[in-house]
Amino acid sequence: MTIPAAPPPWPGRLGGLGLGGDIGTMLAERGMAELKVGTKLSDDVRQAAVGNSRLRILRPGNMATMDFVQDRINLIVDGDGTIIEIRCG
């Protein structure tokens, strides 16, 4: 068994292509094209995430499952609710 020297890069990093496609396109298709790193979460986005398995908001200290869902959007926010990272999976 060979162990790689470094882990592979995370799919879907900012502006990158993940297995689910371009994150910007995924956001636009869901009517959320205005979401950008550095913006605060709106009440509309918070409501959209409730009970939605394809949109997940991860706050500091939240636990998240390690399953990969190629068309799920993860919004990683800081303690103030500002988006610090957007990725798929």
The DSSP symbol for 7 reads P
Alpha-carbon gap, residue 78 to 85, rounded angstroms: 9
pLDDT value of residue 79: 93
pLDDT along the chain (89 residues), means of 10: 39 41 78 84 85 87 85 90 88
Alpha-carbon gap, residue 9 to 56, rounded angstroms: 20
Alpha-carbon gap, residue 60 to 77, rounded angstroms: 7
Q: State pTM to two decimals.
A: 0.68
pLDDT value of residue 21: 58
- Write the CB contacts of 38 (distance below 8 Å, at least 6 apart in sequence): 82, 83, 84
pLDDT value of residue 44: 84
Structure tokens at 20: 């689910």
Tokens 């800081």 correspond to what residue? 78
